[in-house]
Every structure is written in C-alpha cells, then in structure tokens.
Structure 1
Amino acid sequence: MVAAVRVHRYGGPEVLTYEEIDLPAPGPGELRVRQTAIGVNYIDTYFRTGHYQAPALPFIAGNEGAGEVTAVGEGVTAFKPGDRVAYVAALGCYAAERNVPAAIAVKLPDGISDELAAAIMLKGMTVEYLLHRSYKVKRGDTILVHAAAGGVGLILSQWAKHLGATVIGTAGSEAKAELARQNGCDHVILYRQENFVDRVREITGGQKCEVVYDGVGKDTVVQSLDCLKPLGMLVNFGSASGPVENFNLGLLAPRGSLYVTRPTLNTFTAKREWLDEIARNLFEVVSSGVVKITINKRAKLAEAADVHRALEGRETTGATILTP
C-alpha cells in the first residue's frame, strides 16, 4: 500500500483525500519511483476543481515529482534502479511512490537535488519554452510579467534579465514587489493600487512591450493587449483568475496587428530530444546560479489541502514542495 492524495469529486481543497492505495509493478516502458519531493503548481488546482478535466474520477493529484527509480518495466533500457529522476506528468504525483512512463522522465545531474528538481521541473521548463520558443526574448526587449513574485514569475524574471531584457512585473503587495525586484524585475507595478497599462506606458515612454507573459487570464488579458507594441505578442499560459472565453480576434488589428498564443508544455516536450534540450537548458541556468530557486514552503503530503488553500489565497511566493 502507498500513501497518496486523491480527488473523488471536483471541488475545493477539502476534496483532496489522503489515503492508502495499491500500486502495481511497473508496466512495459514504465519506471517505479520512490518519490522524495513533489512539486506544487497552480495547475494542480485546475484539475482539483474540474477546470481541467481528469481522464476519470477518482484520480491522484499532482503534475511534478522527483525521486529514485526502484524498478523498471519491460523494455526500459535508459534507466536503472538507483537513478535519480524527475518528471512532469499528467497527474499522479501526490504519492509516496508511483509508476511513470520512462519517456517523460529525465535523469538528474549531480548539481540538482531531488528537492530542487521538484521545485523547478514544471515551472522551470515552462519558463524555458516561454522565453525561448513561444517568443524568443532577446537583448533590448521590454517584457511584462504578470504575477512576477509567483513560482513561474520569479524564474521567468531572473532568466529574462540574464537574456538582456528590461523586465516589468506586476505584484499584489509591496512585499511581493520587493521579492520581484530581488529576482530580476527592473520595475514592479502594484496592480491593486495602480493601473498597469498606464504604468507600462509611463515606464516605457509610450513604447510599450514586445511581449506580455500572462498566467492570470480572465482579469488581465484585454488590458495586457494594451501593453504591447505593434506586432507584439501576448503569451497566455495560465488562468489563475479564470479562463479566457469568447476572445474577440478583432481586438488585435487596431492595436497593431498583435499576436496571441496559448501554449502548453506538452507541445514543446512531445519529442524526446525536445524534452532533453529544455531540461538541460533549465538545469544549466539553475546549477550555474543564473536562476536562483527559493523554496518558501515545505509541507507533508497529508497537508495538501492546506497547501492548496494557501496557493489559491495568493499567500505563497516562490516554490512549494510536498514530501511523503
């Protein structure tokens, strides 16, 4: 029997149920992993509430983990028991042990601990494709990062600054604004007190931004368009305030023939060589110190419901991890 957190019905944090489950031997192409650290991400709340539908109920929550391979299934040759691995998986990570497809796992280099890997795999690989693939940030660009003190925002701001961009962030409090400044933001807008469109125009002398990275969604998407230069790009990669619905393409032309994209990590890691390249780039910037990761909250797997309450209450900054 293995400890896990399952969702039997969609709803609030209270539907996260800590229980014991059976775990079969790894099947063909699978690894059995004893998890040592589990990442917590806002996408976990989307699956819990039903905003993103799971394949079936009940399901084990969680989309990111790290640990040690304890067994391999038939046909697996690239991994062996004792290997340290990390992965982004579609559900199943809120568990002490799990089976995971070898195709989505990556080996961890010596400079990346299990705990660090669990804090960066989903958020960090997301940032890699945001900065290098959805829109290729270059020296001299001005970018806007919503929720700059969040898990993705802190990594994105540091990495973008390293690439030579001028980074404008939004934050909900002065404490979060200071954290964003410490992590690469040149300017921070307190969105509860200031109109972020007006402030972007002021900061840029009316020139505005090449790209806006928006993980907030419904509450910010239209105003984000007003922060872009002609031919600029809005990258909507999350919906913390709710999904963007009935988007009017007619908004793009009068604002300067803008581009909008809604990318997902699965697209950019669909091929093994793509996954390996993104993970390698991430590990390099973290191990070299270009991107510094702060784990601000650690909790036990049994405390997952409380962790979700803090996450949705915007009480967290940086990374949060669970341990079995």
Structure 2
Amino acid sequence: MRNDLDHLPADKQRELARVVQIIFEEFEDGLALATQAWRKKGRIQKIILYGSYARGSWVDEPHTAKGYKSDYDLLIIVNDQRLTDRVKYWLGVDERLMREYGITATLKTPVNFIVHTLQEVNDGLAHGRYFFMDVAKDGIALYESDDKELHTPKPKTPDKALAMAQEYFDEWMPSGASFLKGYNFYMQEGDWKKAAFLLHQGTEALYHCVLLVMTFYTPHVHNLAFLRTQAERLDRRLAYVWPNERHIDRARFEKLKEAYVKARYSKHYKISETELSWLGKQVEELGRVVHEVCAERIAELKRTAGVPA
C-alpha cells in the first residue's frame, strides 16, 4: 500500500498528520483506565486515507454558491472487533475532530472515519465489495504498526455484481418510501416528533440504498451527516440536495440528524410544521436523485453482464 502524500499540498499533509495525532490521543485516553486484558491490548493497526484526497480528486470550494468541500475519509483498522463499537470507543475522537474543525478551526477540513478489523476488511475484499476494493487500490497508509498487507481483492463476476446491486435496490428503495409514508401520516396527524423520526429513517434508508448499490458496503451508523458525506463522495448530484448557503437550512438538516434519538427520547426536542415540510421536500428530492443514480449504476452493471436493459 502506498504511504506517500506528495500529491497533496504541504498544508494538507500537515493537517493529516495532526488528524492522526488527535486520533491516537483520544483513542489512548479512552483505553487509559482499562482493566480488562483485551482492552489493555487494544491497538490501532492502520490508518488509511481513502476517497477523493487519496485519489487526488478532492474539491475545496467553500466560498462558491454551493460551498462544497471534500472531507478526509479515513479507515481505522484495530486489532479487536470489540473496539469497532463507535459509541463505546470513538465518541471522543468524533467530538475532538468536530471541535477542532467547527469551533477552534485548528482543522480546516472535515474528517470522517470508519473503524474495522483487518479480518473485516479482508472479508470485504474476498467478497468483492467495491468499497474495500477501492480502499485497497487507492488507499494511502498514514500509519501502520506492521507490514501486513490487505488481501488481494476478488472482484465479483458481472452477473453476481448485478444481482447483488438489484437486490439491495429492491430492498432499500421501498424501505425508504415506506418510512416516508409514515412521515406523511404523522404530518397529517400533527405529531411532529414521530414525523421527524420517520423522516430520519427514510433519509437513512435512502443513503444506505445508494451506498450499497454503488459500493456493496454501508457503515452501520445512524448519523445522517456521516452517511451523507459517504454518499456525496460517490456522486456530486447528491451533494446538491441539501442547500448550504443559509444557516436556517443547515440548522434544519441538523434537526433531522438529531431526530433519531431526540425525537423519541428528549422532551426538549422541538421541530415545527414549517421545518418538517421543508425537510420533507428535500428528502423527496433525495429519493429522486438516489433512484436516478442507482438506476444508472444498475444499467451499467447490466451492460457489463450482457443483460438486455
């Protein structure tokens, strides 16, 4: 695996070094008081940069009308599957990275990361999951504790790739539509919290749909902001669904993101009919774009497999 960052500007190279430092500081702090033997042996084995910054195709145009800015995408590989639990072991890293980007501005680029074991990554490669294959092909090691290489990818046959993509589409697209029906029902009932939760679920299903159809992989998270960035790096059309120019629009998306937990459990969660109506229209547009992107991908797989359109 490559380990050079010569294609990146010097400020980006320094920033990535800072990101790696933050990850280690927060991870080690989280295990500092560990008493279980396995936690004491917990280690980060690799930190791999993938996505647009690894390929050299990043976008950094925060001052344009659309304000799109690529994130750093990182795969963190740990030595124990129990350490992949994001809530138990990675909240500190999440919060620190968000604070240093959004509040103190010591980081100029947002950071997303996923956590897996080496076995999980190699299983993904063995099953021909495009996401892991892209990581193996384009990834750049920012840190490695040893010289263990990722396994050689085993691409799916065209027929199997088509069948899997179609299966994911047939499962997740209707799932998203079903949640949106529930959202519309509770909008008519005037139950804004239930409407917000189901709209969140519909949005989540749409993002899972496009990620699975395009890459055969989706992270096991409910964080819409994280799913959104993972999807938007696949197709720029997805980036334009959510307006970013106005604070009010960004705040509305934040309320949708929070609905997974707060709309169900917090008496302080407030969202208005106006906010929900606007969010509902954006999610409808998201569904249209997801359908378009997935349909194009399936048509491409059909051509590759020699199946009539």
Normalising TM by the smaller chain, what interval? under 0.3
Decide which structure has greater helix share. Answer: 2
Between Structure 1 and Structure 2, the one with more strand by share is 1
TM-score (structure 2 length as normaliser) = 0.23
TM-score normalised to the size of structure 1? 0.22
